[in-house]
Amino acid sequence: MAATESYIEGAPPGAFAPQRGTRPMSRLTTVLGATGLLGGAICQRLTAAGRPVRALVRPTSDPARRQRLERLGVDLWPGDLKEPPSLRAVCQGAQAVISTATCMLSRQAGDSIQSVDLEGQRALIEAARSAGVEHFVFISFVPLQERFPLQEAKRVVEQELMRSGIPCHTILRSGFFTEVWLGPALGFDPENARARIYGTGLGRLNWISFEDVAKFAVGALEHPRARNTILELGGEEALSQLEMVRLLEGLDGRDWVLDRIPEQVLRSRFKEATEPRQQSFAALVLNVARGCLTDPGPALQAIPIQLTRVSDPARWARRNDDARKEG
Ligand SMILES: NC(=O)c1ccc[n+]([C@@H]2O[C@H](COP(=O)([O-])OP(=O)(O)OC[C@H]3O[C@@H](n4cnc5c(N)ncnc54)[C@H](OP(=O)(O)O)[C@@H]3O)[C@@H](O)[C@H]2O)c1
């Protein structure tokens, strides 16, 4: 198969040969999803901590993101979650695997919740088990309302990981990322004092920075209480969309323009969606509209980190500066 051959070509010699009994290279961590938001931050923290890092990267991944990983000293291995031989190769010799990968924002041919988030992650668990990986960290999300394909895939993969026979697993069920859901791509735009408000805007959420999720993921490899457990992640402050708007209005002195989408409209979008990714996105938006509370206490006890405060004025000032520079 042409696609597989190109992976073999790019992999170090012998990478695809079964190497049972190979001793894991000291602390080598393989990251899946490294060209994404969270995976990139995890690679940055792992390399800063002096861990050798290997990442599975697709030929189609954003070149700028690949280069950033190379500059960090990450060893890039070609592959795809839909190509099991590449997963076996990238797991060989690794002590730990961290998987953040998801197809939700991907537009590559053949990517779907079924092929990537479900079958791809299952194949990765099997590859990690047969390669003798000691610790597998899987990024999932907190239990959400409604049945939808992405949530079903995450729960199946969690179950398989727990039963896999890999000596140690950590399942990190995160809440909603601040930078994504309170960011311009989803209509929350501090630079232009404008926000899309999903539902009434009154439901509270424990928004969490992806940087904090990265701290938890890396910390999971070190802290004994993070072994063989499920940890729910969220920020310590629970604030509604409207509370966030009021807070930022207070900081920049402008009245924001609000574009409201009633919950009823969001519910119809969810019910009418037929494509699994579209339906999953609609379900996620509905959960933001209703609010979603998470207690980060147990996770902080297992992995003590300093959480970012979503209300911290400095973080929003920094973000506006960054947006102006990019603009
Ligand atoms: N956003 C949130 O609020 C939130 C909340 C809770 C949990 N999470 C979870 O957090 C995780 C990370 O999210 P993120 O925002 O970092 O995602 P992201 O930026 O969209 O990154 C997704 C990564 O997955 C990779 N990927 C997709 N399809 C692949 C395939 N077929 N083979 C190999 N790699 C593939 C992408 O590679 P390419 O660059 O090649 O496409 C990319 O590196 C996800 O599991 C998500 O479910 C997110």
Query: CA-to-CA distance for 132 and 91, rounded, in angstroms?
Result: 8
Look at the alpha carbons of 228, 116, 100, 54 in this order and tell me if their dihedral is positive or negative: positive
Query: What are the backbone angles phi and psi of residue 229, rounded to the nearest 5°?
Result: -150, 165
pLDDT of residue 26: 74
In ligand 1, which atom is closest to the CA atom of 213?
10
Give tens-digit pLDDT for 33-91.
999 999 999 999 999 999 999 999 999 999 999 999 999 999 999 999 999 999 999 99
Residue 9 has pLDDT above 90, yes or no: no
Q: Could you tell me the pLDDT band of residue 5, with boundaries at 50, 70 and 90?
A: very low
pLDDT for res 322: 66
DSSP class of 123: H
Distance 150 CA to ligand 1 centre (A): 12
Tokens for 81, please give them: 């979650």
- Of residues 190 and 318, more confidently modeled: 190
Ligand 1 pocket, residue 101 CB under 6 Å: yes
- Categorize the per-residue pLDDT at 253 as very low, low, confident or very high, splitting at 50, 70 and 90: very high
Tens digits of per-residue pLDDT, 211-236? 999 999 999 999 999 999 999 999 99
Q: Supply the pLDDT for residue 241.
A: 98
Distance CA 98, CA 139 (A): 8
DSSP 84-109: HHHHHHHHTT-SEEEE---STT---T
pLDDT tens for 141-200 read 999 999 999 999 999 999 999 999 999 999 999 999 999 999 999 999 999 999 999 999
Q: Is 116 in the pocket of ligand 1 (CB under 6 A)?
A: yes
In short, whether 111's Cβ falls inside 6 Å of ligand 1 is yes
Nearest protein CA to atom 12 of ligand 1, as residue: 100
Q: Which atom of ligand 1 is least distant from the CA of 139?
A: 45
- CA 35 – ligand 1 centroid, Å: 8
Strand 29-32 versus strand 96-99 pairing type: parallel
CA distances from 165 to 73, 127, 131 (A): 31, 12, 12
**Per-residue pLDDT band at 4 (split at 50, 70, 90):** very low
- The percent of the chain in helix, strand and coil, each rounded to the nearest 5, is 45, 15, 35
Q: What CA–CA distances, in Å, run from 216 to 6, 41, 47, 193, 296?
A: 34, 11, 15, 32, 11
Find out whether the beta carbon of 38 lies less than 6 Å from any atom of ligand 1: yes
pLDDT category at 326 given cuts 50, 70, 90 is low
User: What pTM was computed for the model?
Assistant: 0.92
> CA-CA distance, 189 to 320, in Å (whole number)?
9
Evaluate: CB of 121 within 6 angstroms of ligand 1. Answer: no
Q: Which residues contact 152 (CB under 8 A, 6 or more apart)?
A: none
Per-residue pLDDT reduced to its tens digit, 98-120:
999 999 998 799 999 999 999 99
**pLDDT computed for residue 315 by the predictor:** 86
In terms of phi and psi (left: phi > 0; alpha: psi -120 to 50; beta: otherwise), the region of 102 is beta
pLDDT surpassing 50 at residue 249: yes
